[in-house]
Chains A and B, each alone.
Chain A
Amino acid sequence: MSRVLPAEADLRRIIGDGETIPDGEVDGLGADELRALYRDMVLLRTYDERSVVYHRQGRIGTYAIFWNHEAMQAGSVLALESRDWIFPGYRESAIGLLRGMPVSTVLSWWRGHPAGWWNPQEFNVASICVPIATQVPHAVGFAWGSRLKGEDRVALALFGDGATSEGAFHEGATFAGVMKAPVILFCNNNQWAISTPLAKQTAAPTLADKAIGYGIPGVRVDGCDVLAVYEATRDAVERARAGDGPTFIEAVSYRAAPHATADDPSVYIDPERVEDERENECVGRYERYLLRMGALTQSLAEEIKQEALDLMRAGIAEAEAEPAGDVSLVFDHAYADPPPSQAHDLAELRRILGDA
């Protein structure tokens, strides 16, 4: 049996800085793929920025911001085939957009509207898990079950640094190792769990070091370098498909925005550090790389941004055009075969609301 080694302390990186650090390249990604990846990142960025505006305008409810997480989301998903499944937490609420999910669906979820649902089997994207780390064992079970059925599909679980403190993460990772589940445990280490910095979350030198205890290889990448994220995930997917089991990826970034629209980070975060991180954010970094490589022009970049904005405008209009949900939706689908009391409850509620 091969030995699992401690993770490298250094972060894998491919995109240079345009000055002293040279740009690298990823085998197998041509200019078209590079531009498609840019399109994905811009879509996520635009979704996120518009959502904050929509929240301020009272058009969506409290919203968990994922600004500067786009590279981790788009890069890891690019390494999957469409038959592979994604298991998101709330920080990845819009990841379904990368699988063709309508913008209005995700906006409806944040609007607290019953239209904010999707069939996971339609997009191979599981429902968003709001508690912390609960999606990790789901992804492991899905990957394990798929292997047992002889189906060639892997699962990608996305979660944050704080999630690695939860029992659900530990137990899921334990299963992943034992069952040799074809799963990627992808940790977006943005270094903050609301107000709790990584140093108060764990005494481990790196989160990837945790993997060794589960018998799983752990790798570390720069989470703001979309190509490094892609390459690391692609390697992990190859291992999973080859029957070599799970991989833990620690993608290190920085939460350069509030946890959510209800959060005021000025109480706990260093604003200068945030400013630095915002200057080096992941979408701009990739955009500058593509410009340097000649794979993108300013005018095409503007066009792509405008397309994303148009999509958001149409999406919010569609979400707002949804008629109010009927109260029957409070009751529908909780059971395949509802207890008899349910019909009585609905009838009584309708009578009281006067819409019998």
Chain B
Amino acid sequence: MPELLLVEAVNDALHVEMERDDSVLVMGEDVGTLGGVFRATSGLQERFGPDRCVDTPLAEAGILGTAVGLCMAGWRPVCEMQYDAFSYPALDQLINHVGRYRWRTRGKMSFPLTIRMPYGGGVRAPELHDDSPETYYVHAPGVKVAIPSTPADAKGLLAAAIRDPDPVVVLEPKLHYRTLKEEVPEGEHVIPLGKARVAREGSDLTIVAYGAMVHVALSAAEALSGDASCEVLDLRSLKPLDEDGLLASVAKTGRVVVVQEAPRVCGFAAEVAAVLAEKAIFDLQGPVIRVTGYDVPYPYWQLEDAYMPSVARVVDAARRVLAS
């Protein structure tokens, strides 16, 4: 198996899926000639032509809105939003149409579109290149959300998203586009949505995380290894959520810390905590503690390390749960 960077694995998935299904069409700002500002779509226009790897005007609502129409015309669009915080003009289309249209047609029409975008902080970027917007997307009925943490998952989850009959948002941790290199299966590689991954086995505490925070969780588990055996559960997909995987881990450990980079209020960690309150209350031996970004605007980058959930903060939370 070739070793690929996370961004190369995204690129590989796009090549494989476009080869496999000639209705798959990639569109977005700078995705064609340039191959995307992160080079995630590099080589697609040369291989598949400008009609299947389309440089669009600078208009995110237009990208997603025309993708709805492209679905109706029989295409399977994969829309790139250039950055997390620049995807928001598309929310009107996403909430009002993308997630509702199947329902409006009583399932007669499918909207198998994919939205993929780099997300998250820690990259010393200028203002508004750092957001973790998963809550906005996961909150929209009819829309699925996946967030890979590794190159192999970046390929497999994107392939699943493209093949899914429903709209799927895939958030790619830009911090790790070029920091992680690992073996990625060649050719077709699909990781079903809704199946979490045990990134590290343990028996005393479960750290639930997704995306870039999986690596923070793994470092925290390692830091705690002299004192406690920590399991790290990588959710991979927020909707559908692998409740069975989550509940199985918690039944084993009884203690939970949930880590997310996004601000705390109504973030996905709150959803995880709510599921545990509803379905695992008798397994829990302590409070479910969230470690999250703060409920303030993402700071300028010289202060971003103080904002982002750190290994120290996860360790601190874990010790509090373990002491309870």
Chain A residues close to B by CB (< 8 Å): 61-62, 64, 90, 109-114, 116, 128, 130-132, 162-163, 165-168, 193-196, 200-202, 262-263, 267-268, 324-325, 327, 329-331, 334, 339, 341-342, 345, 348-349, 352-353
State whether B294 touches A330 (Cβ < 8 A). Answer: yes
Residues of B within 8 A of A62 (CB): 124-126
Chain B residues close to A by CB (< 8 Å): 29-30, 32-35, 37, 55, 57-62, 85-86, 88-89, 124-129, 264, 294-297, 299-304, 306-307, 310, 312-313, 316
A sample of 15 cross-chain residue pairs with beta-carbon separation below 8 angstroms, ordered by A number, consists of: A112-B304, A130-B127, A131-B86, A166-B58, A166-B60, A166-B89, A193-B58, A195-B34, A195-B55, A202-B57, A267-B35, A330-B294, A330-B307, A334-B297, A348-B316
On whether A168 and B312 interact (CB within 8 A), knowing A112-B124, A330-B296, the answer reads no
State whether A90 touches B126 (Cβ < 8 A). Answer: yes
Residues of B within 8 A of A61 (CB): 124-126, 301
State whether B37 touches A331 (Cβ < 8 A). Answer: no
State whether A194 touches B30 (Cβ < 8 A). Answer: yes
Residues of B within 8 A of A329 (CB): 299, 303
State whether B62 touches A165 (Cβ < 8 A). Answer: yes
- Cα–Cα, bound, A349→B300 (Å): 17
On whether A109 and B57 interact (CB within 8 A), knowing A130-B128, A353-B306, the answer reads no
Closest to B124 in A: A61
Residues of B within 8 A of A348 (CB): 316
What's the count of A-B pairs with C-beta under 8 Å?
Answer: 120
Distance (whole angstroms) from the CB of A329 to the closest CB of chain B: 6
Residues of B within 8 A of A339 (CB): 295
- Cα–Cα, bound, A202→B125 (Å): 29
Residues of A within 8 A of B125 (CB): 61-62
Distance (whole angstroms) from the CB of A325 to the closest CB of chain B: 5
- Cα–Cα, bound, A331→B59 (Å): 32
Distance (whole angstroms) from the CB of A53 to the closest CB of chain B: 18
Residues of A within 8 A of B304 (CB): 112
State whether A194 touches B29 (Cβ < 8 A). Answer: yes
- Cα–Cα, bound, A25→B105 (Å): 65
- Cα–Cα, bound, A130→B128 (Å): 7
Residues of B within 8 A of A324 (CB): 302
Which residue from A112, A201, A263 sits with its C-beta under 8 Å from B58? A201
Residues of B within 8 A of A334 (CB): 295-297
Residues of B within 8 A of A342 (CB): 294-296
Closest to B57 in A: A165
Which residue from A168, A196, A200, A325 sits with its C-beta under 8 Å from B302? A325
Residues of B within 8 A of A162 (CB): 57-58
State whether B58 touches A163 (Cβ < 8 A). Answer: yes
Closest to B60 in A: A166
On whether A330 and B303 interact (CB within 8 A), knowing A267-B34, A342-B295, the answer reads yes
Which residue from A128, A168, A268 sits with its C-beta under 8 Å from B34? A268
Which residue from B58, B127, B297, B299 sits with its C-beta under 8 Å from A196? B58
Which residue from A90, A195, A352 sits with its C-beta under 8 Å from B33? A195
Residues of A within 8 A of B29 (CB): 193-194, 196
State whether A112 touches B126 (Cβ < 8 A). Answer: yes
Distance (whole angstroms) from the CB of B266 to the closest CB of chain A: 13
Closest to A130 in B: B128
Which residue from A111, A114, A341 sits with its C-beta under 8 Å from B295? A341
Residues of A within 8 A of B85 (CB): 130-131
Closest to A324 in B: B302
